[in-house]
Amino acid sequence: MSAESTAAHISREEVAHLARLARLAVTDDELDVFAGQLEVILGAVARVGEVAADEIPPTSHAVPLQNVFRPDELRPGLTQEQALACAPAAEDGRFRVPQILGEEA
């Protein structure tokens, strides 16, 4: 059974009504195109509804999820002096940056 054969017929008037509700300006040619497209979409949805069975539990993913993150490993980092060595400006062991909020620290 094809998706198109299970779809309810969508009239041009129904498409025009939906377009008005959505505040879309559509031409007469577009009404015919959209009616055909909506029939295909509704047929596909109806077909999915036929496949769904009570013995199949609902799922959010087709395959089981697993953690793909690597384990945390402690590694040596830069010392404070090394981090500040190439800084354009440093003060009291910190990066010095321009003041942007006009507040005193």
Query: Has residue 22 got a pLDDT over 90?
Result: yes
The domains found in the chain, sorted by start residue, are 3-51 (1.10.20)
pLDDT in tens, 44-96: 888 887 776 777 777 788 888 888 888 889 999 999 999 999 999 999 999 99
3-class SS at 72? coil
Model-level pTM greater than 0.85?
A: no
Report residue 103 as tokens: 């507040």
Asked whether the CA dihedral 74, 80, 82, 88 is positive or negative, the reply is positive
